[in-house]
Amino acid sequence: MSSSNPVFVALDTTDRGKAADLARRLLGHVGGFKLGLEYFVAQGPEGMAAVSELGMPLFVDLKLHDIPNTVAAAMRGVARLKAAITTIHASGGAAMIRAAADAARDEAAKLGVAPPKVVAVTILTSLDQAGAEAVGFGGSVLDQVKRLAALAQDNGADGIVCSPLEVDAVRAQCGPGFTLVVPGIRPAWSETGDQKRVMTPAEAKARGADVLVIGRPILAAADPVAAAGRIRDELHGG
């Protein structure tokens, strides 16, 4: 993204006041805000506005995964939220990815706003090799991520979501203009939790991640602003 700070903080809460308050406190300490399913289900489009009105890039993470017609209709609503980035699942298939990308661009053009970057989730960072195999993804996680990245790129997605472990291989495959959104970010001083494929912010950035999605290392910290500052310093080699 254009911001020099690649960190999008995941405001994973159902509480509008908490999200807006955290966002206000973190202004200037992160590059953007991510609001996901748990928040959207609780707060709807008005709740999204409570954060987007602060003027920072908004990442609307709904991980759409359905038939192309349904995803296209939902994506038009996402474009109306003036999202900078939004997610679909690559495993929804070629036609679904194409429908999502086309709908985002078409609706944004109608509104005269910039279209959201449509990024396709490959293999969730909460899955390890065994977990991915249990879902039916054969082969290595890396091969699956590369295959889904090619499917996403060939069908008009602006980028993908992958773990930091796959970033350099996907960058080599997809080129410099393809946006790599990377959760599974864990500073050395934070808990891993349910994430399986993790790396530190500085390592992930050095490998070529464009956007670092970070939730609990900031949100669960005793002082979220200090945690965001510590991450920013680490990204600048401090």
Ligand X SMILES: O=C(O)c1cc(=O)[nH]c(=O)n1[C@@H]1O[C@H](COP(=O)(O)O)[C@@H](O)[C@H]1O
Chain contacts with ligand X (rule: CB under 6 A)? 10, 12, 36, 61, 63, 87, 121, 124-125, 161, 183, 193, 195, 213-216
Residue 62 counted as an annotated binding residue: yes
- Residue 87 pairs with which residues in a beta bridge? 119
Nearer to ligand X, 82 or 216 (CB): 216
Helix%, strand%, coil% for the chain, nearest 5: 50, 15, 35
Q: Is 110 a catalytic residue?
A: no
Least distance CB 231 / ligand X (angstroms): 11
The amino acid that residue 71 corresponds to is V
What does each C-alpha distance from 109 to 61, 80, 116, 145 come to in angstroms?
A: 21, 11, 11, 31
Nearer to ligand X, 38 or 106 (CB): 38
Q: Is 128 a catalytic residue?
A: no
Residue 155 counted as an annotated binding residue: no
Of the residues 15, 18, 21, 61, which is catalytic? Answer: 61
Of the residues 15, 18, 21, 63, which is catalytic? Answer: 63
Residue 106 counted as an annotated binding residue: no
Nearer to ligand X, 7 or 99 (CB): 7
User: What token pair was written down for 149?
Assistant: 């990245």
Is the CB of residue 147 less than 8 Å from the CB of residue 173?
Answer: no
- Shortest-Cβ-distance residue relative to ligand X: 215
Q: What are phi and psi of 121, to 5 degrees?
A: -70, 130
Residue 216 counted as an annotated binding residue: yes
Residue 12 counted as an annotated binding residue: yes
Q: Is 233 a catalytic residue?
A: no
23, burial (CB in 10 Å: exposed 0-12, middle 13-18, buried 19+): buried
Q: Enter the DSSP assignment of 231.
A: H
Helix axes 94-111, 141-154, angle to 10 degrees: 50
Nearer to ligand X, 106 or 142 (CB): 142
- Residues, the chain: 238
Least distance CB 143 / ligand X (angstroms): 17
Residues recognised as catalytic: 61, 63, 66
Residues at the annotated binding site for substrate?
12, 34, 61-70, 125, 186, 195, 215-216
